[in-house]
Amino acid sequence: MKLRQILKKIIKKQSRKLIPLIYGNNLKKLALFYNTKWGEEEGSHMYAQHYEKHFAPIRFKPLKILEIGIGGYDDPTKGGESLKLWKKYFPKSMIYGIDIIDKKALEEERIKIFQGSQDDELFLKEVIAETGELDIIIDDGSHINKHAIESFKTLFPALKKNGIYIVEDTHTSYWPSLIGEKWSNFGKGSVYLESLTKVGGSLDLNDQNTSMNFFKRLVDGLNYEEFLHPGYVPSYFDKNIVSMHFYHNLVIIYKGDNNEGSNIVKNNILRSFMLQNLGIKSLEELDLEFPSMSQTNDE
């Protein structure tokens, strides 16, 4: 009986080494193995199918990948499954992690970990100063709406051209913070549980402070060259976001030069041939009222 138990342990240990090798090119299988980004049980996030679509063409490139949020909650020795997943799937890449808890015990070859808060602009800039420009950034951090927005504003400029920025678990946009005496002691001592009481979402789908509404506003910037609005000054995001993909609880944003131009509008006024076709010399003759347009990078 003892021998049988020993053999089972050996087989189990060896299988854990073999499975990542066998399924190294199948992100969904790897995600199941590492128990992250994909699940078959009710309530699991099913991100791997989307990641595979976007990552498969670049998986063998030497990339720099940063993930915010390492997992394992308050235990400094637990978590890191996603970092190992990315290390296996991107065999030539360097993987970086950020967590508010010290998770350096989980470091290994091609995995480096920083401790700090994702809403600390100075800390994030120090991380970037060490890593250099990044190819992929994945925000799986606190999921507090304000944190997701502030991290994006700081880190998106640190992406290389053609880089990909991802925000997970956007469902907290629809959860209001839990305030009042009833919740004052909820989750005390647990970074994760305490964060659930202050996610900063809203029951109002038009609330401008949620991360989903922040990213939805950026969609218009894809077409900023079509804005019929004299004097409009494009934001950094207008000029550097080339596509956005929205999935269930997931936003994927590509960086590049958004400068295709418009065949109708130039410098946010109608081109001369359009004015001529309309029989006018300037937009003023159309007697239009131009509303103020907020700059997303100034919000």
Amino acid letter, 177: S
Entry pTM: 0.86
pLDDT digits (tens, 9 = 90+) for 166-205: 999 999 999 888 766 565 666 666 666 667 778 999 999 9
Tokens of 268: 């946010």
pLDDT at 15: 47
Tokens in use for 116? 């700090």
Q: Rounded to whole angstroms, how far apart are CA atoms 141 and 127?
A: 15
Please provide the CATH number assigned to the domain covering 26-298. Answer: 3.40.50.150
In degrees rounded to 5, what are phi and psi of residue 281? -105, -20
Regarding beta strands 111-115 and 134-139, do their DSSP bridges make them parallel or antiparallel, or are they unpaired? unpaired
Residues 6+ apart with CB under 8 A from 5: none
Backbone angles phi, psi at 155, to 5 degrees: -90, -30
Using CA atoms, how far apart are residues 94 and 262, in angstroms rounded to an integer? 39
pLDDT of residue 27: 84
If DSSP codes are grouped into helix, strand and coil, which group holds residue 241? strand
Does the annotation mark 143 as catalytic?
yes
Q: What is the DSSP letter of 176?
A: B
Query: What would the mean pLDDT of 252-280 be, rounded to a whole number?
Result: 93
Q: List the catalytic residue out of 45, 50, 54, 143.
A: 143
How far are the Cα atoms of 30, 64, 83, 140, 289 from residue 37, in angstroms, in the given order? 9, 19, 11, 10, 48
